Amino acid sequence: MTYIMTGIEGYELTEQDLDNLKHPLTRGVIFFKRNFKDYHQLVRLIRHIRALKGTDFLLAVDQEGGRVIRFGLPFTQLPPLARLGEVYQRDQALGLTMTHLHAWLMASELLSIGIDLSFAPVLDIDNGSDVIGDRALGQTADQVSVLAEQYCQGMRSAGMCTTAKHYPGHGTVKADSHHELPKDDRSMSALEQLDLMPFVQNIRAGVIDAMMLSHVIYTQVCEQPTGYSLHWCQDILTNQHRFHGTTISDDLGMAAAECVGDIHQRYQACVDAKVDLTLLCEPQLCTELYSNNRLKNVPTEAGKLIKIMSLKGQSTLSHELPFWEQYRWQQARKAWVTLMIETS
């Protein structure tokens, strides 16, 4: 069985949201800009979800920096990861320091309000993709590998698990999988020499807790997108690359995900690929999936639930005070602002 992380409609839970949250397959919520009005509204929403679902439930967001920021002020409006790569090229030590601070600030702020995960870091290479670009840490596999490991260490030092994306690499495929189905005709050998390198090296470094799978078809390897492919998920990722963390399929509402059929067929493709968790970012799609009577009384899979819940965050900041009132955050933020000025 593959579990679901669903999106919710707005600033408060709707009746549809409540129904989706009650379903036994729902094991998390992913937040978007549509869910953020201000800090206090977001905290109330999180507390409401926690009151309904308890602590054994994941809350997540994409708070990468740059153009992928879901929460506005007072959360630090961090630059895109490409800025870290640019600093690293001029001064490696300074680039590593800024990378760690970027990750720590992002993760600590989210954890302090009860959000477990930011789906980060991006391990794709900036190599021509319409959707990656400045979301990447660099244009070479070596630089992305080094900075990604540092970023993961920064997240972990704040108490947040890491999610590498978009395996096995979306950065060389021009098409945006949100809007169309990308296909990559390169050989497995070519992928291993470039896009796969940051993933493989960081798996070996032991810093990746979860792996988000792309909706890209690598035609010389498998006829299915990675997130629907047992060959990619089991033969390559698990058996060849020795990754034993949580596997997460990208949003089933994306245009590229539609290649196998309707939402029921997309979900079944994830099940067939033995994916642990999949995203359903639009509540209506989640409701549509749950209309399938076969899914109403599904048995739980203890092994998968343990893997998924191992991604729970452990904040190193207090939950009792807003993060901006806490000394440790104040010192990190001061250091970050100073470095931003020095490198501008």
User: Which residues participate in catalysis according to the annotation?
Assistant: 178, 250
Q: Measuring CA to CA, which residue among 259, 308, 260, 262 is closest to residue 285?
A: 262
H helices present in 231-293, as ranges: 263-272, 283-290
H-helix segments, the chain: 15-22, 39-53, 81-90, 92-112, 141-158, 188-193, 197-204, 230, 263-272, 283-290, 302-309, 327-342
- Which residues have CB under 8 Å from 176's CB, separation 6+? 129, 130, 131, 182
Specify burial of residue 211 (Cβ count, 10 A radius: 0-12, 13-18, 19+): buried
Phi-psi domain of 61 (left: phi exceeds 0; alpha: psi -120 through 50; beta: other): beta
Provide φ and ψ at 192, rounded to 5°: -65, -30
Q: 7 has which bridge partners? A: 30
Reported as half-sphere exposure (CB side, CA atoms, 13 A), residue 115 has a value of 25
Residue 114, token pair as written in the block: 């009860």
